[in-house]
Amino acid sequence: MRTRFVISGAVIALVIAACGGSDDKKQSSPTTTSESTTAPATTTAVKSGDKVTSSGTQLTKPSNPDTRQIDAEQACRTFLETPAGQCEIVMMAGGNALWTVDALPGTGAGEQVWHVRIRVGSKSMPDGGWDVALGLPQSPDPLFASVAVKAADVTGDGRPELLVGYRSGGTGQFEAYDVVTYEQGKQLEVAAHRQGLHKGSVALEGTTIVDYSADEGSPGCCPTKARRTAIGFSGGVFRVTEVSEVPIDQQPADLFA
């Protein structure tokens, strides 16, 4: 049975501003290839069978784990930096993970500085200590319109992984996301990263991640189609399982919204 301790409600959706665009004039039917390659982080030129890696992620291991003791009464809120911050403790396959998301005052148009931290139990302070295993860099401060974290099983092991979504401001409303895994006997890590999803959204179909990127060739107000990319976990890695173009009205609401 999966156990999760939820401290707060849902967080706002988010995106990484990325410049990779979609080549929407390419074939509209799912593409396959007999030769597996590594997929680019952006939506361009992705094909079925490509491996999706962590390349391009900003969520990295910090130089300082910032080991701190948790307050039993405050629980995960011990580590929040702002009153409106969000947090959650999730029981993953490799152990408990504690994530925090804080929006700080920013100067970007429609964007703010965001701090994202994912902690695991500390080995140097085993009695209630938590180390930062992954976090967004603070120099330069990352600016996004919104950021959100969702827990869902996307590997089929019956335990949740963490999906971290980032949305940028501006007319493109580009979205990006990271898939964070914590397998037994392994470290918490970003296993897959996607970016450059124009007016993008992410959905789940069972354990399959499906992301959408609106046609950039259409007028900015009114895209008519979207590139649909399905990503599944097999053989210890994430791979693209299907690529197609769909009418824009078939693009679902965003998981991170």
Work out the number of other CB atoms within 10 angstroms of the CB of residue 201: 23
What does the DSSP assignment read for 194-220?
EEEETT-EEEEETTEEEEEEE-TTS-T
| Mean local confidence (pLDDT), 135-146 | 90
Asked if 182 contacts 95 with a C-beta cutoff of 8 angstroms, the reply is yes
28-83 pLDDT per residue, tens? 334 444 345 666 666 667 899 999 999 999 999 999 999 999 999 999 999 999 99
Instruction: Provide the whole-model pTM.
Output: 0.83
Higher pLDDT: 35 or 94? It is 94
Backbone angles phi, psi at 249, to 5 degrees: -75, -5
What is the Cα–Cα distance from 123 to 159, expressed in whole angstroms?
Answer: 22
Query: Does residue 120 carry a pLDDT above 60?
Result: yes
From the number of C-beta atoms within 10 Å of its C-beta (0-12, 13-18, 19+), residue 212 rates as buried
